[in-house]
Structure 1
Amino acid sequence: MSLYSPGIDSEEQAALRDSVASLLNRKADSAAVRAATMAPERYDRDLWSTLCEQIGVAALIVPEQFDGVGASLTEAHIVLEELGRHLAPVPMLGSAVLATSALLLSGDDEACTATLPALASGEKIAALCWADAAGWRETGVHAGGGILSGTAHYVLDGESADVLLVLAKSGGLVTLHQVDANADGVTRVPNPTMDPTRSLTTITFDDVDAVTIPTPSGIEDNLRAIAFVALSAEQVGASRAALDLTVEYTKSRKQFGRVIGSFQALKHRMADMYALTETAHSISYAAVDALVNKAPDAVQLADSARIYCSEAFSHIAGETIQLHGGIGITWEHDAQLFFKRAHGSAQLFGQPRESLERLAHAAGL
């Protein structure tokens, strides 16, 4: 079992966290987030540019040889947690973590040299095309002779992407391919989503010429683990924000002549929310630590973090709605945004029962 001391950032990590938090407090308040979700591309272009230029968030996991910072997934995890606090609609998860990781996992220096510097600078955004209509168990695109056909569903940041990295079926294998997002034969259709802060796109490939990137077998399993762990960081940050929102409300709302936060029953419920947030934080950071250090239980911890953090965030978001009373479900209040993010994220990258099945299989059950 991988060991991690939660809540202990190094000096450099603490500085990174403070820098990101300070910038988001200035530029990603509720009004800015809501405005970005209504923009044509459904993400905050100015915020993303600032995060890339001033802090270098897109370059964190990119090695220095490809013009990156040469940090690790742990540093990206810290950024994702802070972004989750604000529900900030920027392509950190889709481009700077998943698509970038796909290129790095390929181990192909030529492909990395050609693409990663532009992603690291924030000049370009990449999207990872993966799922079929049923979810992330299978790819929705087929490859033959360097030609792609089929449809990738639920593509993160697909509307704003300049580069598409495509997991495709090729014979009995899953292979990786790169396509210009504006190439002939590529059709992008924005998906309506329950969570307005998370843009998803359906991308269809109609006999599209693609560059095939040599890739070791099992890349989809490694990407799935990275996706689960990265998503858990967002869930932890959003859980903290929802808890803070609830505590502040119960300290000001009065009923029967007293602030409702003084009622013992509500104190117990908020204590449970706090405990869930802290334990979710622990397993999330244990999981990323296992990935970074290639621990033997890394895949199992990724599945565990995916299940636990999804359930914890869903419960905390539900309690946030309940403890805010009738205003919690109104469009004008942010509680409903956290509730929608919680339930949308719980289904992202596949249903939690799929992780349970893998854990049961690994345990021989």
Structure 2
Amino acid sequence: MTDPQTTAPVGPDPDLLYSEDEDALRAAVRSLLADRGDPATVLAGLEADRAFDPALWRALATEIGTAGLLVPERLGGAGASAREAAVVLEELGRSVAAVPYLTSAVVAVTALLGCPCDRPEVAAPLAALAEGSTVGVLALPLPTAPGGLPEPAVRADAGGVLTGRVTSVADAVAAELLLVWAQAPEGPALYAVDAAAEGVRTDTVTPLDLTRPLGHLAFDGARGTLLATGDRARAAVERALLTGAGLLASEQLGVAEWCLTETVRYTAERTQFARPVGSFQALKHRMAALWLEVASARAAARNAADALATDSPDADVAVAVAQAYCAPVAVRAAEECLQLHGGIGMTWEHPAHLFLKRAKSDELALGSPGRHRQALAGLVGLDAP
């Protein structure tokens, strides 16, 4: 179908509703997280200096099978789509669980899918990521936005030996496979590197969001396996960034939904002047306004997930809209949650601060809202704001 005014292709109408299979997947993931990855458990893990929960990751990735949702069945995956992955990320946003789903099962998997999958050096790590036996990350700084791929900070010689440093890589501490964007003699390329290989060093840093640890990666003579070169490599990395940004909106939606639900619950139970504080008109208005924003964020996030799942020609626009809108909503919901909880909301013991930190971290991840608004203006032919 085409637009009669521009003759440009127009994608199918988006489906924003959840299917029965998606609802069943949500129920399974929510049950697991309620049992083993609720906010109180996450907080206890952080107090024990455990930013990554391997047992929870195995249950989520392998037992439920969420790690391979984006991988076709012929390549060892579940053959699902971005819609199902978005449901998982909504639930992970509701719990701020310390698992590398976005970085490994979404970004790293999508980058590998953009490489020649008939080659064993691509198919083997892809199958390992799909079954959840390996954690992979794309070695780029977390703030890297779609369309903003920088020049490679790592150099590769003709033999595939890598030298360079990449900062602020999300979940680098948990990674076993590194997908490295590097400058090879023949041009840009994507390499696979064993995180435990000689010549690879991971320096941990203390991030704002302790549930998504960051690390600086240093390569000093590390040997990599070439996956793709030139335009193929660039397209694979760009698609991974676009998919990551689009599905990050679903995680932001989950953060906002938890904050709203928890705030409504708390203000209905907390009393002042012999009345629940949630009955006061000023607080009612604040929560009603927040509910409208969260409902709109749900539409934007679902639209992005559906556009990615259907490979819509409007996917770039849908992702830019979702990130420009959902990121600020998650931050606002977390701020309101903390403020309307009063004194208890300011304490370490209450998990509200985990959601505020995740929301603020997600606001910068894969491009800030301002960066996505600027991209959106270019995509639809408007002057940048």
Identical aligned residues as a percent: 39
- 8 Å CA contact 2:141, 2:167 repeated in 1: yes
Verify: 1:141 aligned to 2:154, yes or no.
yes
- Tell me the SS of whatever aligns to 1:78: helix
Aligned equivalents of 2:70 and 2:88: distance in 1? 12
TM-score scaled by length of structure 2: 0.89
- Is 1:175–2:189 an aligned residue pair? yes
What runs of 5+ residues in structure 1 fail to find an aligned partner?
none
Deviation at 1:340, TM superposition (A): 0.9
**Who is 1:199 aligned against?**
213
TM-score, scaled relative to structure 1 = 0.94
Do the aligned partners of residues 9 and 148 (structure 1) sit closer, same or farther apart at CA in structure 2, a change above 3 Å counting? same
Superposition deviation, residue 327 in structure 1: 2.0
Indicate conservation of the 8 Å contact 1:185/1:206, yes or no: yes
Partner of 1:44: 53
The answer for the alignment partner of 1:87 in structure 2 is 96
Deviation at 1:34, TM superposition (A): 1.8
Distance (Å, rounded) in 2 between the aligned partners of 1:63 and 1:226: 16
Residues 25 and 41 from structure 1, CA distance in 2 versus in 1: closer, same or farther, beyond 3 angstroms?
closer
**Alpha-carbon distance in 2 for matches of 1:173, 1:85:** 42
Distance 1:325 1:24 in 2: 27
Which of the residues 317, 320, 325 maps onto 1:303?
A: 320
Q: 1:321 to 1:42 in 2, by over 3 A?
A: same
Specify the code of the residue in structure 2 equivalent to 1:175.
A
Shift of 1:40: 5.9
Q: Is the 8 A contact 1:77 1:233 kept in 2?
A: yes
Is the CA contact 2:200–2:219 (under 8 Å) kept in the aligned structure 1? yes
The change in CA–CA distance for 1:133 and 1:243 in structure 2 (over 3 A counts) is closer
Determine which of 348, 354, 364 is the counterpart of 1:331.
348
- CA distance in structure 2 between the partners assigned to 1:187 and 1:133 by the alignment: 21
Q: How has the CA–CA distance of structure 1 residues 102 and 157 changed in structure 2, closer, same or farther, with 3 Å as cutoff?
A: same
- Give RMSD over aligned pairs: 2.0
- Code of the residue aligned with 1:127 in structure 2: it is V
For the 8 Å contact 2:294–2:329, the answer to whether it is kept is: yes
Which region of structure 1 is more displaced relative to structure 2, 169-178 or 270-279? 169-178
1:343 matched residue in structure 2: 360
Match for residue 128 of structure 2? 118
Measured in 1, the distance between the counterparts of 2:360 and 2:322 equals 16
* Aligned partner of residue 197 in structure 2, secondary structure: coil
Corresponding residue for residue 141 of structure 2? 131
State the partner residue of 2:77. Answer: 68
Q: Is the 8 A contact 1:133 1:140 kept in 2?
A: no
Gaps of 5+ in 2: 1-9
Cα distance, 1:359 vs structure 2 = 1.6
Measure how far apart 1:75 and its partner are. 0.8
The residue type paired with residue 278 of structure 1 is: A
Alpha-carbon distance, 1:174 to partner: 3.5
**Secondary structure in structure 2 of the residue aligned to 1:212:** strand
SS at match of 2:111: helix
Aligned structure 1 segments of 4 or more residues deviating by more than 6 angstroms:
132-136
Q: CA deviation at 1:290?
A: 0.9
Contact persistence 2:15–2:306 (CA under 8 A): no
